[in-house]
Amino acid sequence: DKTVSLRKDLSEMHEWITQAEEEYLERDFEYKTPDELQKAVEELKRAKEEALQKEVKVKLITDSVNNFIAKAPPAAHEALKKELDVLITSYQQLCSRLNGKWKTLEEVWACWRELLSYLDAENKWLNEIERKLKATENVQGGAEEISESLDSLERLMRHPEDNRNQIRELAQTLTDGGIMDELINEKLEKFNTRWEELQQEAVRRQKSLEQSIQSAQETDKTLRLIQESLAAIDKQLAAYTADRVDAAQVPQEAQ
């Protein structure tokens, strides 16, 4: 009987839709690791593609039902037409929901990758600060050399807050959705702790270098005064020598 065959096709398709909904849309997903999230993205993509492939079967069932309805009396096709309408609506909703969930997970995955990218960029900057702090730990030379080291450190510290703000916002977006919250909080705590420690160390080093510059300037000034005094004494002594003046005849400081 054609009606029985059509109802069987409709029933099998309904069962597949129900199973797909339970498997991909009604099941609770937990994403605690990047691997779990990536696997879910790939799984939803396959489910979406599989649902789209079922479009051929839905069309065949639709054509079969419509062909049957066109030849059968009205009393025989009202129920079938209603079942077909329900099937088509359910199928379209399934495709739409699967596609929507896949896109959402794709955006979540992109958000995670973007967070990693910003963390990587900021950690590279922190690595530069660490190297600079080590390089300025025992700066040798006068005020000019120390001033160059201070300028170099201050230029490096003039780093925009944009990346750190992005890290904060991306992490908040993910953890608000319960996505890898433990992992992200751990990464953020580690990053923020390192950031704060290096900032504080950089501020201390700047003050230390400023003090070193001041000390070097005072030393340079003292040396200059000594050199000027020695030059004046040397000139005076040279004059005494030229005039063949005896040491006993000159002031005590000249002697």
Residues 13-61 have pLDDT tens digits of 999 999 999 999 887 777 899 999 999 999 999 999 999 999 999 999 9
Residues in the chain: 255
Q: Is residue 153 part of a domain?
A: yes
Residues 112-128 have pLDDT tens digits of 999 999 999 999 999 99
Structural domains counted in the chain: 1
> How confident is the model at residue 76, as a pLDDT?
65
Name, in order, each residue with C-beta under 8 angstroms of 44's C-beta and a sequence gap of 6 or more.
Answer: 24, 98, 101, 102, 105
Q: Is residue 36 part of a domain?
A: yes
Q: Is residue 222 part of a domain?
A: no
> How confident is the model at residue 248, as a pLDDT?
64
Spatial distance between the Cα atoms of 173 and 170, rounded to a whole number of angstroms = 5
Q: Is residue 204 part of a domain?
A: yes
Q: Is residue 104 part of a domain?
A: yes
> How confident is the model at residue 238, as a pLDDT?
81
Mean pLDDT confidence for 130-152:
88
Higher per-residue confidence, 96 vs 137: 96
Q: Is residue 19 part of a domain?
A: yes
Residue type at position 221: K
Q: Is residue 240 part of a domain?
A: no
Higher per-residue confidence, 244 vs 188: 188
Crossing angle, helix 2-20 and helix 74-135, to 10 degrees? 20
Residue 245 has pLDDT above 80, yes or no: no
* C-beta separation of 129 from 68 below 8 A: no
Spatial distance between the Cα atoms of 233 and 176, rounded to a whole number of angstroms = 79
Spatial distance between the Cα atoms of 67 and 63, rounded to a whole number of angstroms = 6
Name the average pLDDT for the chain.
Answer: 89
Quote the percentage of the chain above a pLDDT of 90: 61
Helix (H, G, I), strand (E, B) or coil at 206: helix
Residue 131: give its domain's CATH number: 1.20.58.60
Residues 90-116 have pLDDT tens digits of 999 999 999 999 999 999 999 999 999
Spatial distance between the Cα atoms of 210 and 139, rounded to a whole number of angstroms = 12
Residue 77 has pLDDT above 80, yes or no: no
Q: Is residue 243 part of a domain?
A: no
Structural domain boundaries enclosing 16: 2-212
Spatial distance between the Cα atoms of 75 and 250, rounded to a whole number of angstroms = 142
